């Protein structure tokens, strides 16, 4: 995980009741969401992201913020 000084901070208005959705077809495999997730909620198997552990996810939005802007592989359920 990244150190706290370089970790993006999700604005309070971006926090949600449900975890973000991971779209494997849009994922470029950069693993930045995994690096920045403060709760280790990103599930990685054999070097690929396979999902988000809803029970571990804090709904903070870190993974959404660091997802490559051209891909949007992670997004909120209502977007």
Q: Would you say 36 and 1 are in contact if contact means Cβ atoms under 8 Å apart? A: yes
pLDDT tens string 49-68: 999 999 999 998 899 888 87
The CATH number given to whatever domain includes residue 64 is: 3.30.70.20
Its domain, for residue 40, covers: 22-75
pTM (2 decimals)? 0.70
36 pLDDT higher than 80:
yes
- Over range 25-42, report the average pLDDT: 92
Let me know if residue 10 belongs to a domain: no
Let me know if residue 71 belongs to a domain: yes
Give the residue from 44, 42, 48 showing the smallest Cα distance to 74: 42
Let me know if residue 15 belongs to a domain: no
The backbone torsions φ and ψ at residue 44, rounded to the nearest 5 degrees and listed phi first, read -120, 130
Q: H helices within the chain, ranges in order? A: 32-36, 62-66
SS3 63: helix
Within its chain, how far is the Cα of 56 from the centroid? 12
Let me know if residue 51 belongs to a domain: yes
Parallel/antiparallel/unpaired status of strands 21-22 and 74-75: antiparallel
């Amino acid at each position: 995980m990244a150190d706290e000084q370089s970790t993006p901070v999700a604005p309070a208005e971006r926090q949600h009741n449900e975890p973000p959705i991971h779209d494997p077809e849009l994922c470029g495999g950069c693993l930045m969401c995994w690096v920045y997730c403060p709760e280790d909620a990103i599930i990685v198997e054999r070097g690929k992201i396979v999902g988000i552990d809803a029970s571990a996810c804090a709904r903070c939005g870190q993974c959404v913020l660091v997802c490559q802007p051209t891909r949007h592989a992670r997004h909120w359920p209502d977007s």
